[in-house]
Structure 1
Amino acid sequence: MRIIRRKSELRDLTKSWHRAGETIGVVLTMGALHDGHLSLVKAARSRADRVIVTIFVNPRQFNNPEDLAKYPKTEDNDARMLGPLDIDVLYVPEAEEIYPTGFSTTISVSGVSDGLCGDDRPGHFDGVATVVTKLLLQTDADCTFFGEKDYQQLQVVRRVVADLDLKTEIVACPTVREDDGLAMSSRNLRLGAAAREMAPVIGRVLESAASTIRQGGNVAQALTTASQALMAAGFDAVDYFELRSDPDLQPMAAASRPGRLFVAAWLNGVRLIDNLPVQVELRASADARKTVEPV
């Protein structure tokens, strides 16, 4: 594994790979790697001839300076974790490689960025869209891999690639969970022992609400009950508990088409997010099951 910090060096390498007819798979991260990230790396290794993992803590997607300051920086440990996975490059650019002096361009995506984390984290998805575009261009990625845990982010990235005619294929990978059901996240490192023990409640409440809706239960009541359950369990606040259509992420009052249930809640100063697919189980009516006998 080669560690590269300058885009000029990386571009020389990726050009040689493409000249040789090799494909490049890229996993974009902010470091503090966990098994969820590693599952994306393994997926990239299975799909591409060459694999690049990036680590860049992007200041433009943090609307809260304190959140940025607290974000764990664990490059040495990250490199050790990646060592056995046979990647080709760990790209760790300095800030000036991404945002050089005079940088003044922002990519903004409407529609799928509205609501959910888009409301609670102003400017967040502009920062995501901008840095993802930069890194996909710098790495010359043929395919890139995103986890479904950050599902709104995944849809924002898909929109950017489609709208800007980028060549990169976006590959979605299932959410990876701890044994107790908590969705893996770098932010989980900031939970204290007591909060970490409580955190899996968010997944159980999400699954319960999704099950109720899948079986035709009242959506509004299911969402209210779920939010109340989180607060009763000791969560500090619930930013949202919503049903949205998939893939355009429009609010849904009823599960009349494929959708996803989304939640964001605070626990011990840490914001946890999760989501699950929801589609009502369709049952054929008695009339539809009747057969017509020939006359």
Structure 2
Amino acid sequence: MKVVKTIKEVRENVNTWKKEGQTVGFVPTMGYLHEGHGSLIKKAREENDKVVVSIFVNPMQFGPTEDLESYPRDLEKDSKFCESLGADLIFNPEPEEMYKDGFSSYVDMSVLTEELCGLSRPVHFRGVCTVVSKLFNIVNPDRAYFGQKDAQQLAIIKHMVQDLNFDIEVIGCPIVREEDGLAKSSRNTYLSAEERKAALILSRTVKLGREMLEAGETDADKIVEAMKKNIETEPLARIDYVKAVDGLTMQQIKKVQKPMLVAMAVYIGKTRLIDNTIWD
């Protein structure tokens, strides 16, 4: 497995593989990899001849008060993890490699980015769409893999690929959880022991919402209110949002329908965590 820092090196490797008729799977990440990322790499390994993983903490998707500088990084550990799962190439550029002096071209989207995380993180999805578009152009993969924990991001990337005619299949992979139910996240490392225990309110609340759906509840507002009340029983939790939205447009809905996304963002102490369930 190779670790490369430049766009030129990525393209040289991928072009060689393509000339040999080999398919390329791509897993874009911000590093500090865990089993959730691992599930994406494994899926890419199963479905493609070659696998590229990008590790890039993208400054464009962080707001001015967010955790860009403190976001966890460990390239050595990530490299061993990727190699153990059969990745062929890691692309680990510096910000200056991705955004040259004078950079002023962005990929923006309306509608899908205006709800959920887009409300409290207004610059986030412009940064995501821009960097993913650049990575798609650099890597030129046949397939790209994203986790369903970031369900809004997955819907946005699929829509962007359709709108901009990328010849790439975008594949969503299920949420990977700890044994006690907490969704795997690089930000879980921020949690103290007390906060880690409190964070279980997210997965318990997702389970509550899922149970109401499976029991036949058709009023989306009732599900959301029950979920909010459940989160409020945890003193360390502070709700950013809990919403039921159309699974394709990300717009709020009143009545249960398919596809539907019930999603939440909750602060446990200072750490913002997300979780969801998809009704499809």
Instruction: Give the TM interval when normalised to the shorter protein.
Output: over 0.9
1:268 aligns with 2:272: no
Match of 2:198?
Answer: 198
Listed as ranges, the gaps of 5+ residues in structure 2 are none
Match of 1:159?
Answer: 159
1:125 aligns with 2:125: yes
Q: Identity of aligned pairs, percent? A: 37
Structure 2 distance, partners of 1:254, 1:64, is 37
Structure 2 distance, partners of 1:165, 1:51, is 22
TM-score computed with the length of structure 1 as normaliser = 0.91
SS in 2 for 1:171: strand
CA contact (8 A) 2:246 2:259 kept: yes
- The equivalences for 1:91-170 within 5 A come to 91-170=91-170
> 2:153 is matched by which residue type in structure 1?
Q
- The equivalences for 1:216-231 within 5 A come to 216-217=216-217, 218-231=219-232
SS in 2 for 1:274: strand
Question: 1:244-266: per-residue Cα shift (whole Å, max 9, x none)?
Answer: 11222221111033311111110
Q: 1:66, CA displacement in angstroms?
A: 4.1
SS in 1 for 2:261: strand
Which has the greater radius of gyration?
1
CA contact (8 A) 2:198 2:237 kept: no
CA contact (8 A) 1:214 1:255 kept: no
Match of 1:289?
Answer: none
TM-score computed with the length of structure 2 as normaliser = 0.96
Structure 2 distance, partners of 1:83, 1:28, is 15
CA contact (8 A) 2:59 2:95 kept: no
Match of 1:51?
Answer: 51
CA contact (8 A) 1:3 1:91 kept: yes
Structure 2 distance, partners of 1:13, 1:105, is 26
> 2:189 is matched by which residue type in structure 1?
L
Q: 1:103, CA displacement in angstroms?
A: 0.8
Of stretches 201-210 and 169-178 in structure 1, the one that deviates more from structure 2 is 201-210
1:234 aligns with 2:235: yes
Structure 2 distance, partners of 1:244, 1:63, is 24
Listed as ranges, the gaps of 5+ residues in structure 1 are 280-295
Question: 1:58-96: per-residue Cα shift (whole Å, max 9, x none)?
Answer: 001011444111100111111121221121101101112
Match of 1:207?
Answer: 207
> 1:210 is matched by which residue type in structure 2?
R
Of stretches 152-161 and 232-241 in structure 1, the one that deviates more from structure 2 is 232-241
Of stretches 226-235 and 72-81 in structure 1, the one that deviates more from structure 2 is 226-235
Question: 1:223-272: per-residue Cα shift (whole Å, max 9, x none)?
Answer: 22321221221233101111111222221111033311111110021011
Structure 1 distance, partners of 2:21, 2:222, is 55
Q: 1:145, CA displacement in angstroms?
A: 0.2
